[in-house]
Amino acid sequence: MREFPKYGGLQFKSIAITVEKEGTKYIRTDLRGSQLLQSSHLNKGTAFSTKERELFNLIGLLPHSVETLDEQLQRAYHQYSLQADDLQKNIFLNNLYHTNETLFFRLIREHIQEMMPIVYTPTAGLAIQHYSDEFRKPRGIYLSYPDREHVDEILDNWSDGEIDLIVLTDSEQILGIGDQGANGIGISVAKLVIYTLCAGINPRRMLPIMIDVGTNNPRLLKDPFYLGWRHPRISSEEYHQFVETVINAINEKFPQVFLQWEDFGKKNARYHLDRYQDVMCTFNDDIQGTGAVAMAALLNALKLTGTPLSHHRVLIYGAGTAGCGIADQIWEQMVKEGLNHQEAYSCFYLMDRQGLVTRDRDNIDYFKAPYACSSTETDEWGPADDPKDLLDVVRNVQPTILIGTSTVHGAFNREVVTTMASHVEQPIIFPLSNPLTLAEASPDDIIKWTEGRALVATGSPFSDVEFQGKSYPVSQCNNALIFPGLGLGIISCQAERVTSGMMDAATIELANSTTDDARLLPEIAQLQEVSKNIGVAVARQAILEGVARTQKDRNIESIVESNIWEPVYVQYKPLTSMENSK
């Protein structure tokens, strides 16, 4: 049996941010010398002032010159630019993250358009695949099934202070690359980076957690460098009992935390959300986040078509976690616009690996069942038409909205797109699978095949399309447009739950954030402003619904702004022995 002593690494509980009489913030800490330089939270590197070097025993541990943050940024960007490819750039940035958090976040913020795809989608997926090969330093907590009797003790080993936000994964289904075992902690880390980068959530108050329940990836099981539990994934009762043990321990240690589920398998993802959403403040980005961003893009597309949502027929190609999450969001909107439940369900057609989802199928997933169409409907098709074939489904269903979450590259081919476009003046086509190599179609082809009539949003970043002398905006349905602002609002008002009303508030605010009427979603460069506005909208809705701990009479905008962390250096002062003993 393994021993689990209750101790952590560097003790950050002694750090305190104080405000001087003039209103200048400074940090007190009892760390000195190499310990201070090894703390990524506190390290300033060559930006420690001469006075700070004297006070904290840093003289001789750093080169003589004292630099500003701007001077450090120039060197860091030069070093970044020298990296050979996107993976090496990701590795460079992660090393900087482990060394100096302030410089890391400031560098990416200054170059957000360029670096967002490196730290997040799509390069994050490549980095996760190489996680064990490139491992240098752990970040976060690893809860492995063999250690299931010691989950409480493992969490107690976290000594960096209070936590506002946790991103939890078992990495069974990382979009585009599937089961990545313990390597998947990289997706939790990447999500937390985006929370800070876009919404200013304090990186010192967030925690990535990996639930290591084994892997069914044969490459990893045979890889001598693989760092996770080398065992097939556990399932069924023992899996769910372990997850419940983890959630109970998290609730005990961090009772007010906001927990995000990330990249769980489709059945477990839905089960966990349904099981825990009424007992803690929790959210699934793959289901709710993806659905909210797609819904925001669709709301703006509907403004351009002038056709009410209730008059549309929706075909979703890829009825997994993301596809069904999008369907749920659209269905709810249809009901709000006046359709009854069954009328709204009848507007949908879902396709998965087995083809069109119909009611006569055996063992249909419960979250797909409401969208299943009658098999008698396909009986009226032509004798040669196959409900497993996308083109035949498009020909018979005549969808006005086509959404792809299948990861089947090129599935929306010319014949599929032109067939759809022959039945509707402005087809709404969202190929949302990423990375680029898994997209159902390129926006350039869709615009060309529909002669500029289609309204397009994608899952991966694409450039705007030039066709016949006109520019067609291509918006990216990037979840980074929604979850950082949602988290900011939840943390700011200390929400007890994530309600459908809060998700609606975030969706509507995102839809209203576009400054170009032809663009379906705001651009990446607007992320910080958009996230702040979403945070305000979410906090206001939480207070209105009575699920916030914040007092109703407080100024919401001020509360949100006070929770935004800025990547700037502040002055350090030694923690006195009297303060340290408190």
The answer to the question of residue 4 being in a domain is no
Choose one of 477, 512, 529: the last residue of a domain: 477
390 lies in the same domain as 492: no
Between vectors from CA 487 to CA 239 and to CA 484, what angle results, nearest 5°? 105
Write the CA distances from 240 to 244, 261, 268, 280, 400, integer angstroms.
6, 14, 9, 17, 40
Q: Per-residue pLDDT for the chain (582 aa), expressed as one digit of tens each?
A: 344 333 233 344 445 555 554 556 788 899 999 999 999 999 999 999 999 999 999 999 999 999 999 999 999 999 999 999 999 999 999 999 999 999 999 999 999 989 999 999 889 989 999 999 999 888 999 999 999 999 999 999 887 778 999 999 999 998 778 999 999 999 999 999 999 999 999 999 999 999 999 999 999 999 999 999 999 999 999 999 999 999 999 999 999 999 999 999 988 999 999 999 999 999 999 999 999 999 999 999 999 999 999 999 999 999 988 999 999 999 999 999 999 999 999 999 999 999 999 998 888 888 999 999 988 888 889 888 899 999 999 999 999 999 999 999 999 999 999 999 999 999 999 999 987 888 999 999 999 999 999 999 999 889 999 999 999 999 999 999 999 999 999 999 999 999 999 999 999 999 999 988 889 999 988 999 999 999 999 999 999 999 999 767 679 999 999 999 999 999 999 987 545 544
The answer to the question of residue 454 being in a domain is yes
178 lies in the same domain as 209: yes
473 lies in the same domain as 491: no
369 lies in the same domain as 509: no
- DSSP character for 232? P
User: Tokens 């958090």, residue?
Assistant: 101
Q: Which residues of 443-476 are buried (b: 16+ CB within 10 A; e: fewer)?
A: bbbbbbbbeeebbbbbbbbbeebeeeeeebbbbb
Report the domain count for the chain: 3
Residue 172: CATH number of its domain: 3.40.50.10380
Chain centroid, CA 42 distance in Å: 26
Residue 444: CATH number of its domain: 3.40.50.720
399 lies in the same domain as 493: no
473 lies in the same domain as 489: no
Note down the domain range covering 118: 12-264
Q: What is the C-alpha separation between 72 and 48, in angstroms, rounded?
A: 12
Write the DSSP string, 455-475: EEEESS--PPEEETTEEE--E
The answer to the question of residue 389 being in a domain is yes
The answer to the question of residue 428 being in a domain is yes
pLDDT of residue 2: 40
pLDDT of residue 230: 96
502 lies in the same domain as 466: no
Choose one of 457, 477, 497: the last residue of a domain: 477
Q: What is the C-alpha separation between 424 and 394, in angstroms, rounded?
A: 12
The answer to the question of residue 40 being in a domain is yes
Beta-sheet pairing, 16-19 with 25-29: antiparallel
**Taking a C-beta distance cutoff of 8 angstroms, is the pair 440, 423 a contact?**
no
Beta-sheet pairing, 281-284 with 258-262: parallel
Choose one of 477, 502, 523: the last residue of a domain: 477
100 lies in the same domain as 215: yes
What predicted TM-score, i.e. pTM, was given to this entire model?
Answer: 0.91
Q: What is the C-alpha separation between 286 and 258, in angstroms, rounded?
A: 16
pLDDT of residue 22: 53
Instruction: Tally the residues of the chain.
Output: 582
Instruction: Return the active site residues.
Output: 120, 191
256 lies in the same domain as 312: no
416 lies in the same domain as 378: yes
513 lies in the same domain as 412: no
The answer to the question of residue 6 being in a domain is no
The answer to the question of residue 567 being in a domain is no
The answer to the question of residue 65 being in a domain is yes
456 lies in the same domain as 513: no
pLDDT of residue 577: 55
